[in-house]
Structure 1
């Protein structure tokens, strides 16, 4: 490790001179750092060419969402494991180094956290690999796992960000996606919910499975939320032949992204997945209808332009009824209501007594006839 003065460039090509602590990585050091799901594309390049990277720390550095940081685990809390690039749960131990990405998090059941202003101590706020500074947390959970940043990962004098190695980009669509804009329109269903843990991902997975059982090629994606491998893996297991999420576009989370980026991300994801040769595209929108970016998307004409129908997941009858009203008032085509609500016959009966929309048990969506009936008709 040595002390140097050098020019450091951030992701927006701003340059500044600082006295920094710079650590050159060798292949052994690179292989001992535990990479996270969010940093999987960066990790692949680091393992191939560790000599191209170094770790730089300075008191004047201000990290940004998407910057890759090497940090030491100093205390185990809520997250006792870190999802690997292949989404395996890697048990964490104090003193280990991890490679995660800075990001903001909005999770009513867990943490509200924002990217810190410096490289001081912070927390692991998501098992998929998000470092942030906790501002609030749910009363029922443990405090977040503590991290001490060693420094930002750098390559060629620039701070490494997730977008540097992401396979997809909202600014540079793939050739197939560009052609798709002028070509055949693939049916698109969006899955939304009342909140976290309302059953959105399971609902989407069952719908994918049902459409696959009907002989259709289904592509799936998760357009907003916090980076983790659980949901993409579920969609793949359910039968989707093509799966992506916002981390494939270089974002660790979508919370606090500027709204134009959020809407462009949704459209780009739909176009990329439509261009795969899919017969149907199913997209999850994270969190609940009142969450900031979700609420704005529902009222945006671009949502109705690119999404044909919505499938809604609810935790209880009242939430189902309220969600139905919000979605219909937004002028959206509500195909049906499902989710955690349907695990309770009593709750489902309450909902059916007060709603116009069809209530479908989550796992009934695996039936090819039930699933196919939800596709838009043109």
Structure 2
């Protein structure tokens, strides 16, 4: 029989098969929600009486499952991105609402969803709970979490997909009416994490907007965080979405068919907004699993007209150009971190047939317009 408790210490639940905790309005307000959980958080604030926190013995959480956890030790991430992406300072002992998810970040953590509700880590400031497998030598260990339990609603574990506004299997009415006609689509890829992809995309959006175009932008793969969508909005995109809008905290270790469908669905949804151009970011580097498979898939070239590539250095730029051209893609230009150094940009240009364009030069209307596919 389930044991009902208003507020039961986590330590005392170990020997019980199930513990449920009701959430009143005061507790709902006190729980610090993360960016990844923003749609769930909105419903929790409206109707806290519909939700409970449940801890069951031997439960195996799934990616996207929402967990209420107590911060037990601060580490790499001392701030949690709020639903509006404000970096809210965390304190030991606070309850936070995050989502379980896998993470692939060569500069930070490799992390997998644990197989129980035992102690875990905050592996992304956008709100991803996971178990660290490996980490970069230069960073602090991850912030430690003690799960209180999974968030449930009407007896069912809440998953991000339950409240996501978009669905890869169910197009919006606008997208369903799109047909085969769509605006030009440019994808931004890079050599690796922190190669300048998001800034490159933001500057391209800004340049196209400066030229009088309505631009929609999206981030199709990666780890849930509000930084990049906010950057795209600040650059002038009138419609912005990312994979969290489809209910995924991250895209790492998603089955490939889901990743493939997510890319297509995002392009269709953004194309249906009335945009004159759509710009989509593909996270991480060309060798990352999902990215590599997407590039080799004919559906990528079917839905993406041109590619803009961000590189960290000349050698990476040369390798990226070769890979993208061999994949049969229309490479418009190379940009990114490499262009912060005039010498590095010159080195790259001497080895490339593709033009190298400074990241912030993309903000110029004529430069951005030159990267659009020919009609």
| Bin for the TM-score computed over the shorter chain | over 0.9
What SS is found at the alignment partner of 1:286? strand
Q: How does 1:108-257 map to 2 (within 5 A)?
A: 108-180=106-178, 182-257=179-254
Match of 2:280 in 1: 283
Q: Distance in 2 between the 1:280 and 1:227 partners? A: 24
Match of 1:22 in 2: 20
Q: Distance in 2 between the 1:5 and 1:158 partners? A: 17
Shift of 1:183: 4.5
Match of 1:376 in 2: 373
Match of 1:12 in 2: none
User: Unaligned regions of 5+ residues in structure 2, if any?
Assistant: 5-15
Q: Distance in 1 between the 2:161 and 2:56 partners? A: 23
Asked if structure 1 preserves the Cα contact closer than 8 Å seen for 2:3 and 2:20, the reply is no
TM-score, normalised to structure 2, is 0.96
Shift of 1:19: 2.8
Q: Distance in 1 between the 2:184 and 2:304 partners? A: 8
Q: Distance in 1 between the 2:274 and 2:324 partners? A: 29
What SS is found at the alignment partner of 1:154? strand
Q: Distance in 2 between the 1:160 and 1:352 partners? A: 50
Count how many residue pairs are aligned between Structure 1 and Structure 2: 364
Q: Distance in 2 between the 1:310 and 1:340 partners? A: 17
Q: Distance in 2 between the 1:218 and 1:47 partners? A: 33
Alignment RMSD, CA only?
Answer: 1.0
Match of 2:337 in 1: 340
Q: Which residue of 315, 318, 322 maps to 1:318?
A: 315
Q: Does residue 269 in structure 1 map to residue 266 in structure 2?
A: yes
Q: Does residue 309 in structure 1 map to residue 306 in structure 2?
A: yes
Shift of 1:5: 6.7
Shift of 1:184: 2.4
Q: Does residue 64 in structure 1 map to residue 49 in structure 2?
A: no
Q: Which residue of 292, 299, 318 maps to 2:296?
A: 299
Match of 1:361 in 2: 358
What SS is found at the alignment partner of 2:224? coil
Q: Distance in 2 between the 1:141 and 1:19 partners? A: 38
